[in-house]
Structures are given as C-alpha cells and as structure tokens.
Amino acid sequence: MIKIIDLHKSFGEKQVLSGVNLEVKKGETMVIIGQSGSGKSVLLKLIIGILKPDRGKIYVDGTETTGLKEEERLRLNRKFGMVFQGAALFDSMTVAENVAFGLERHLRLSSKEIREIVRASLEMVGLRGVEKLMPHQLSGGMKKRVGLARAIAYRPEIMLYDEPSTGIDPIRADAINEMINKFKQEMGMTSIVITHDMASAYKVADRIAMLYGGRIIEVGTPEEIRQSLNPIVQQFIRGEAHGPIDNW
C-alpha cells in the first residue's frame, strides 16, 4: 500500500532523514518507534504530502507521489485520514462541525447525510450527544476521540496516527489502542502509528519499525522486536538510560 525508497529530508544543516526505506502492506498496522526528534512525525508529513522530500520516492497504492501536481495530490489525499498528536480540533467549531470538516471539503453530500455520518462516526469512538459541545468543554481523552471520529468520517483507506495516546492516562490510552484495532478489523484500514509507548506499540502493531539516525534500522513483528539482537533497539524498548543511544 505504501512504499518508501531512499527518503531524505533536512532542515537547513540538520539532516533528519537520511535514506529511509520501508514498505507497509495493505491492511496492516505498521508502528514506527524512535526517540523524540528522530524524524517520525516528519516521515508522516512526507507521506501525506505536507512536506516534500529532498530526495527519494514515496508510492501510495502504486502511485509515485512526490512529483504530483496539487490537484492530483488533493485527490490522492482522500485516501488518508490523520490523527494529530494534540487532536488539532478547531476551537471555534462545535464537535459536529469539527467531525464534518473533511466531509464538507471532499464529498458532495446533503446536510442530512453529513449529520448521519457525524453521528455514526462519534458513536464508533464511544461518544454520543456531544455534537453541540465546544472543544474547551471536552476532556483530553474526549478530544482524542473526536479527532479519531473526524479522521474516520469519510472512511479513508489509510490512517496515520501521530502519538495517539500521548497526554492521556493509561486507561484512556488503552481505549484508543482498542479503537485503532477496531478500525482495522471493521474497515480494513492500512495504518501507520507513530508512538514511543511500547505497550501501545505491542498491542496494535502487525509490524514495528525503528527509526534511528535518519534510517529504519530494524523491522519485525512485535515478538521479533522484543527478541532483537540490536542493542539500540533493546535499549529503546526497555527504556534504559545507559546504552548505545546518545541522548544528550
């Protein structure tokens, strides 16, 4: 579904990605782990086209995306839903207006059809009767779920999650993990999840890839990652302060 070949990206003199290669199969959940600042979120923005690479190619469902014109890019982006790290709700819009945002931009639907999709999407994430609330009236966990509802509202083929469980307590984080699995099972979505939470990674991943030094240094099933002989991978998944990763 997604194929990344020799992807490079720098900002000024800072080289963030230096030859990323990765394949994500149709219908699988790929979790990408790595230190803060390792380029995980940059990689997502390159996949969805918010940023352009300095070098390399990205294929989405067989289409090479890095050279697309704006209109072609917008058409391709309808395949994607994205859940941002901080939910990224519009403060001046109600919950219903937030969830409807993508529908109104991408699809020609009546007001009644949009209301039905908004209601169904909110129910899928366990929220009812919140359509008229404003974001400031929601808890952190509810904001996350509204962000999920907005992302799934127009039934994308590919979901991108940027730290979906950050900033909420472990119980609500696990509820988000269960929703990620539910979307995959019920809608057959291909997903990429960025996280540093290994409990979440093990729960949702079909495969896990570790980004380090601007490259993917290892890819495997959760069990293969647990058993990895790479000391960098082991230090990260164990959360140990001392080892081959230089944090300073």
Whether 88 maps to a domain, the answer reads no
Rounded Cα distance, 59 and 226, in Å: 29
Q: Which ranges of the chain have pLDDT less than 70? A: 86-87, 246-248
**Burial class of residue 152, CB neighbours in 10 A (0-12, 13-18, 19+):** buried
What range defines the domain where residue 55 resides?
1-79+159-164+189-248
Q: Quote the pLDDT of residue 88.
A: 80
Instruction: State the virtual CA torsion across 57, 15, 222, 202 in degrees, nearest 10.
Output: -110
Mapping DSSP to helix (H, G, I), strand (E, B) and coil, where does residue 234 land?
Answer: helix
Q: Quote the pLDDT of residue 157.
A: 92
Whether 183 maps to a domain, the answer reads no
Q: Quote the pLDDT of residue 247.
A: 54
Q: Quote the pLDDT of residue 25.
A: 96
Whether 98 maps to a domain, the answer reads no
Whether 129 maps to a domain, the answer reads no
H-type alpha helices, the chain:
40-48, 70-77, 95-106, 111-124, 140-152, 170-187, 198-204, 222-226, 231-238
Whether 24 maps to a domain, the answer reads yes
Whether 115 maps to a domain, the answer reads no
Measured from the Cβ of residue 40, the count of other Cβ atoms closer than 10 Å reads 23
For 209, phi and psi rounded to 5 degrees? -120, 135
Supply the CATH number for residue 240's domain.
Answer: 3.40.50.300
Q: Give how many domains the chain has, as a whole number.
A: 1
Q: Quote the pLDDT of residue 248.
A: 46
* Residues paired with residue 55 on neighbouring β-strands, in sequence order: 8
Whether 39 maps to a domain, the answer reads yes
Whether 45 maps to a domain, the answer reads yes
